[in-house]
Every structure is written in C-alpha cells, then in structure tokens.
C-alpha cells in the first residue's frame, strides 16, 4: 500500500536544476542566462568560467547540478547534452532605506531572483 511514484516533470531525455534566492536582479541574471541558451554544455561551462559577471559563478554551479542530475538520476550521456532552456524568475525583494535631505527617506530595493536550467540529450547527426 505504498504511495504511487510521482510522474516526471520533464521528458525522459531531459534533466533540470533550479537555483533560488540569488542576490541579483532578474534583469542582470537574464543576461548571463542568455549566454548559455541553446549551447552544448561544455561550451556553456567554458563561457560561464570566463565571464566577467559576478553571478556567472552561481549560474555555473546550477548548470553543473543539472548535468549531474542528468547523469546520475536519469542516465543520460553527458557528451550529448544541450542547454535546452534557461529561464529566470523573480523572488523576494528586501526593502531597505537611507535618510535623505529634508527628512525624506530614500528607498533601496535589494532584489533576489531564481534560475531554472533544463538540459536535453540530443543525438548528434552523422
């Protein structure tokens, strides 16, 4: 009388990793996500390694996690993986402030965001 297994959220030839609470704005994170969309995972890892953006380090960790999920959990071949999707979402925004002139209050928003990376196994055409 065990519980039934949950259906997979992605296809059989796909694996996913999600990283939440990244301390950067979604707009800045989307620039880095755009660097890796549609590329082979080796090329995407190289691009993230040599990127000057601070958040590229965290995106690289998320991509490595997606690759490990594909290999260990779903038995996919790492050499045939492609970054199928990399999309960004908003998370919470911390509201902070700073006193300004004439008794006013300057509002400072500190946004957080999240990234989801989906890798897909694609057979190479010979």
Using pLDDT thresholds of 50, 70 and 90, give the confidence band for residue 125. low
Q: What is the CA radius of gyration of the chain?
A: 19
The Cα 21–Cα 71 span in angstroms is 25
CATH 3.40.50.300 assigned to 14-121: no
> Quick one: pLDDT at residue 22?
97
- What tokens appear for 87 in the block? 């999309």
Locate the domains of the chain by residue range: 14-121
pLDDT tens sequence across 93-104: 999 999 999 999
pLDDT at 6: 86
CA distances from 124 to 55, 60, 79, 119 (A): 31, 24, 10, 15
Name the pLDDT band for 34 (thresholds 50, 70, 90): very high
Q: Quickly state the pLDDT bin for 26 (edges 50, 70, 90).
A: very high
**Mean per-residue pLDDT of the chain:** 95
């Amino acid at each position: 009388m065990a519980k039934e297994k949950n259906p997979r959220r992605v296809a059989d030839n796909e694996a996913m990793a999600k990283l939440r609470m990244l301390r950067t704005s979604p707009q800045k994170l989307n620039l880095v996500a755009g660097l890796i969309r549609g590329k082979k995972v080796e090329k995407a890892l190289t691009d993230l390694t040599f990127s000057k953006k601070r958040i590229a380090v965290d995106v690289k960790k998320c991509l490595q996690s997606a690759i490990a999920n594909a290999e260990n959990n779903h038995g996919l071949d790492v050499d045939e993986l492609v970054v199928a999707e990399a999309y960004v979402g908003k998370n919470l925004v911390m509201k902070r402030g700073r006193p300004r002139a004439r008794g006013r209050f300057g509002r400072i928003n500190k946004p957080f965001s999240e990234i989801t990376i989906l890798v897909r196994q694609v057979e190479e055409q010979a």
